[in-house]
Chains A and B, each alone.
Chain A
Amino acid sequence: MTDIYDEGCAHCEEMMQPYLDHVLSDAEVREAERHLQECDKCRRRYRFEESLRRYVRLAVDEQMSPALKEKLSALRIPLD
């Protein structure tokens, strides 16, 4: 299968990060979505980017220890 990567894809790629960050204008969102509807390859790559962001968040998530939580609470300044 030949990959078709044209100017539309190049522009779509530029818009991917801001699209996923929700900082595009409404007109730009429409433009990106128009291309995504037509282009399977870009659509898959957007989906991948979203999956990757979700995956990274989960993978690096680390809860604070209960001991630290107690220490923070003890830092409060006592009432006179």
Chain B
Amino acid sequence: MAEAPSDANRIATGARDRVRFEEEALALSDQVYRVARHIANSREDAEELVQETYARAFRSWRSYQPGTNLRAWLLRILTNLNIDRGRRNQRAPQMQALEANDYFLYDKLADSGDGTTDEDRVVERLSQDDVVSALSAVPHDFRDVLVLVDLGDFSYQDAAQILDIPIGTVMSRLHRGRRILKRELAESVAEGDS
């Protein structure tokens, strides 16, 4: 019959598991920051949020189930902290009509400029600043989903779990968020032309 592990052994195993958890979590910090940067409103907010996330993760590491998606678990802590901290005080989005079809930005970029319609080149008419400010102009509920799926490469299912919303809501917010982003980008083209 196997002997019950001694207390000292149990403590050693626990410490080893914790250290492994911390290392795995830290190895994901670049990816966590990338997403956090655009869920938060500024770089400073993102840095604070990531620190709070890791502090909480290290304290409650036992509630993480080994073998499940650690990156999603960390992002879930992060999005909850972001809500708790009231950093989402942006006004509710105005439900103004979005352009009827999904292609208006392409049409706009292709119609203006030097006449190039090459798909890879028309996007280059957008400056990096245009893209960054267009993304930050997308209201939070839509941006959170957009950032998780399009920048963080999370599946619809993962995004639903992270944000604790139904998958259908993920899909509709993603769809709308992408359209809002394109509308913002199209507006930056119009401003650049005037």
Interface, chain A (partner B; CB < 8 A): 13, 16-17, 21, 23, 44-45, 47-53, 55-57, 59-65, 68-69, 71-73, 75-77, 79-80
The reply on B99 being an interface residue by CB < 8 A is: no
B50→A72 contact, CB < 8 A:
yes
Which single residue of chain B is at the shortest CB-CB distance from A42? B103
CB within 8 A of A45: which of B33, B103, B175? B103
Query: A72 and B102 in contact (CB under 8 A), knowing A60-B135, A63-B30?
Result: no
Residues in A neighbouring B182, C-beta threshold 8 A? 52
Top 6 A-B residue pairs of the complex, sorted by shortest distance between their CB atoms? A59-B131, A64-B33, A47-B119, A48-B119, A48-B106, A55-B123
Contact B131 A60 (CB under 8 A): yes
From the candidates A48, A60, A76, name the one contacting B122 in the complex (CB within 8 A).
A48
Q: Please report B residues at the A interface, Cβ cutoff 8 Å.
A: 15, 18-19, 22, 26, 29-30, 33-34, 37-38, 43, 47, 50-51, 54-55, 58-59, 101-103, 105-106, 117, 119-120, 122-124, 126, 128, 131-132, 135, 149-151, 156, 174-175, 178, 181-182
How distant is B104 from chain A, measured CB to nearest CB, in Å? 10
Let me know if A59 and B105 touch, CB within 8 A.
no
> How many angstroms from the CA of A62 to the CA of B93 in the assembled complex?
26
Are A68 and B119 within 8 A (Cβ)? no
Complex contact A60–B38 (CB within 8 A) = yes
Q: Are A53 and B19 in contact (CB under 8 A)?
A: no
**A51 touching B50, Cβ below 8 Å:** no
CB-contact partner of B29 in A16, A55, A72, under 8 A: A72
- Complex contact B34–A62 (CB within 8 A): yes
Report if A62-B178 is in contact (Cβ < 8 Å); known contacts: A48-B122, A72-B29.
no
Contact of A75 among B51, B151, B174 (CB under 8 A): B51
Residues of A within 8 A of B106 (CB): 44-45, 48-49, 52
Q: A55-B123, A68-B50, A80-B15 are in contact. List 10 more A-B contacts (CB 8 A).
A: A17-B174, A21-B156, A45-B103, A48-B103, A49-B102, A49-B106, A55-B124, A60-B131, A62-B33, A64-B33
